[in-house]
A and B are shown apart, each in its own frame.
Chain A
Amino acid sequence: MYSPQIILEAALNGLMTGAVYALIALGLTLIYGVLHIINFAHGALLTCAMFAVWIAWAWLGLDPYLVILPLVPLMFALGYGLQRFVIGPASHGDDGNILLVTLGLSIVLENVLLALFQSDTRTLDTDYSFQVVALGPLLLSYPRVIGLGVAVVVTGLLWLVLNRTDTGKAIRAVAKEKLGANLVGIDVPHVYAVTFGLGCACLAVAAGLLMPTFYVNPRIGGAFVLVAFTVVVLGGMGSLPGALLGGLFIGVVESLCGLLLGDSLGQIGIFLIFIAVLLVRPTGLFGAKA
């Protein structure tokens, strides 16, 4: 049927696509782990970041990887502001409301982008978009190798922030016990906003890594957000290592399904896994027991 080399190459490429999924899911799972909310606006925020990368390239001629550096604080600020001034106050602390507010936000963001940029699909090209790295007999796409490396580094950094800094300690405290954290003087709304900001900062990195090989249009976020939900659920809601491993796994599944079933059915494997995990073990493979 297929030679082992093709399957191995597809699996490795999937692994590297999965790294970007992991980055997107990392933000989502962090927000879930601390705020216990499902952020439906995550996909739309990713689209915003991707447009930012595209604009920086098209208007200013900046390299997409370079744009990540200023975009990370920008997206952090955007996320911080959204949580502090929109999502937090509007939802009155009710889970169902948060779901709806973030859904509303995603609709607004997506369609503002649509109004500004129309529904055209945009790409950018760099010298390295189509470069390959030879690994023995296997040819791997250069931007994807970079993506994998950066995703692992960012996961590590995030872990360090959470485990080795005071802010991280505060975040973990709020995640565990909101009321107790408040009692010892932690500013909970601030921590919530910081967490949301960190989640959005992950999107800035993901956007920078995606753009050299991918395209952007105002609706693109939706495709990623469902995949990211799957990753988060699979890895266990709120678990960082779970998000990384889940992302890589999903990338491989998608790539292999695409190879075996054809492009149009490629994503079906993801959703079937998603449903199966939700039905059988909603706490995910790495999640704590509910």
Chain B
Amino acid sequence: MTARDLIPIAVLTVLAALLPLVVTSSPVLNFLVFMLIVALGAQGWNILGGFGGQFSFGHAAFFGTGAYATAILQLRYGVNAWAGLVLATAAGAAVGWAIGFLSFRSGLRGSYFALVTLAFAEVFRILANAASFTGGAAGLLIKLDVHPANLQFADRAVFYWLVLALVAAVLLLTRWIQRSRFGAQLVAVRENEDAAKALGVDSLKVKLRAIALSGGVTALSGCLYAQYFLYIDANIAYGSWISVELLLAPIIGGVGTVFGPVVGALTLHGLGEVAKQFAGRIPGIDLIVFGTVLVLAVAFARGGILGLLERLRDRGRGMVARGAKEVSHAGR
């Protein structure tokens, strides 16, 4: 990685970190924290779906695992919340590896892979909803005990900074993946798995590594969700809503790009809030907007918002270049 890779990430992180100094209203901070948690989970999806081309429709399986892991570890085993954060991430990576092992080894690709991930998430949801170990349908309540050692802060801004730092860390991770040999192999598998294999890429290993990383990052976001809202149940943690959110953000923002998931999450939730302001109390209005944006993005903006911006920039450059040519012609 070079300085050119790091500077945009650093600048954006610092700018975002200054926000709580300007904005102090708690609904806005709540919105920002939630948005960043979604962005973090979406970054996880993007590692597998964006760079690896394996579209998962069931990333709730990892989100929920992270959320339940930390809640259960704290409630049942008295584990410290910070340790819970680390263990939850590891649990997500392990679940990711296991699901990947089962499905990639059977050669599932494309729609089939999407379906099998959906089914795994659904199995987890039903189990978590029924087992008493996970609190059953009543869910789990993490005890309110505001102390930095418990990962609970009196000031929302602190939590915001924590999530932001993790989002920035994953931005770096993603940039590293993009520049690394592993990332190149992953993209090769996405573009043409057979060709990649022919060139000696161990596609199973590459995909497994990607899904483990992806599961870990998404589990981390689930863990933060549990820690921020202090309550989870099966329909929140393993619900299809989160699978959809985590997939929408990268697709809208720019699939397979470093900043795509963050841009997408911000755009979607920004639009959702605007729609709520305009339409008032109509239920589901934000989701109507999400769905419409998804269809429009696929129809008109492949590569998402970032792809669109890039194309505009290229067009702009093209115009400048043409303009320069004309000037030089005129000068002759």
Contact = CB atoms under 8 A, between A and B. Distances in A.
Interface in A90-107: 90-92, 95-97, 99-101, 103-107
Given A107-B290, A111-B287, A38 B111 contact: yes
B246 to A, nearest CB: 13
Nearest to A111: B284
Given A101-B298, A104-B295, A279 B116 contact: yes
Contacts of B114: 38, 99
A107 B110 contact: no
Contacts of B251: 100
B108 A104 contact: no
Contact of A279 (B102, B285, B287, B292): B102
Contacts of B238: none
A90 B126 contact: no
Contacts of B195: none
A265 B124 CA distance: 11
Given A233-B115, A279-B108, A271 B291 contact: no
Looking at chain A's contact residues, is the secondary structure mostly helix, strand, loop, or mixed?
helix
Nearest to A91: B298
Contact of A99 (B55, B137, B240): B55
A278 B106 contact: yes
Contacts of B133: none
A108 B116 contact: no
B102 A95 contact: no
Nearest to A37: B111
A268 B108 CA distance: 21
Contact of A95 (B111, B240, B244): B111
Contact of A275 (B119, B126, B127, B244): B119
B298 A282 contact: no
B295 A268 contact: no
Contact of A271 (B123, B244, B282, B285): B123
A107 B240 contact: no
Interface of A: 37-38, 86, 89-92, 95-97, 99-101, 103-108, 110-112, 114-115, 118-119, 218, 222, 226, 229-230, 233, 262, 264-265, 267-268, 271-272, 274-275, 278-280, 282
14 contacts: A90-B298, A96-B55, A96-B110, A100-B251, A100-B294, A101-B295, A101-B299, A104-B295, A107-B244, A107-B294, A229-B119, A233-B115, A275-B120, A278-B119
Given A106-B291, A111-B288, A111-B291, 17 more contacts: A38-B115, A97-B302, A100-B294, A101-B294, A101-B298, A103-B244, A104-B294, A104-B298, A108-B291, A108-B295, A115-B288, A226-B122, A230-B119, A264-B129, A275-B120, A280-B106, A282-B106
User: Which 9 residue pairs of A and B lie closest in terms of their CB atoms, listed nearest first?
Assistant: A107-B291, A111-B284, A104-B294, A90-B299, A108-B291, A114-B284, A104-B295, A111-B287, A264-B130
